[in-house]
Amino acid sequence: MAKILIVDDSPSDIRFMTEALKGTAHDCVTLTDSKGVEAAVESERPQLALLDVVMPERNGYETLRTLKKLPAAEGMKVVFVSSKGAETDVKWGMRQGAVDYLIKPYTPEQLLSLIARHV
């Protein structure tokens, strides 16, 4: 159905998301850091990115701002998935251009529902 890019520095969080998406028609591409995001978007052309906020080197907000300038990311939707769940964090994420914000911890059902809204 859709290609989904998952970017999170936690292998267990990536595993949780990919397990939740097993059995769906979605194809997942995963990265454990934000350094390769531009190349992955260029080569994979995902429709949706699930992007962690707190990552070493470059946080999710910075990553999204970079992606907004990338022609290959045009039309790609970004959802922040983060443990930073204060109201100000969510508002800031949305102001950066995310279409949604999922606060950790979450259930597989919450993740699938969110993805269904955006792809």
pLDDT of residue 18: 97
Closest CA to 70 of 93, 44, 92, 91: 44
* pTM assigned to the model: 0.96
Q: Each residue of 95-105: pLDDT tens digit? A: 999 999 999 99
DSSP class of residue 58 equals: S
Cβ atoms within 10 Å of 89's Cβ, excluding its own: 17
Q: Are strands 77-82 and 100-103 parallel, antiparallel or unpaired?
A: parallel
Reply yes or no on whether the pLDDT at 1 is more than 90: no
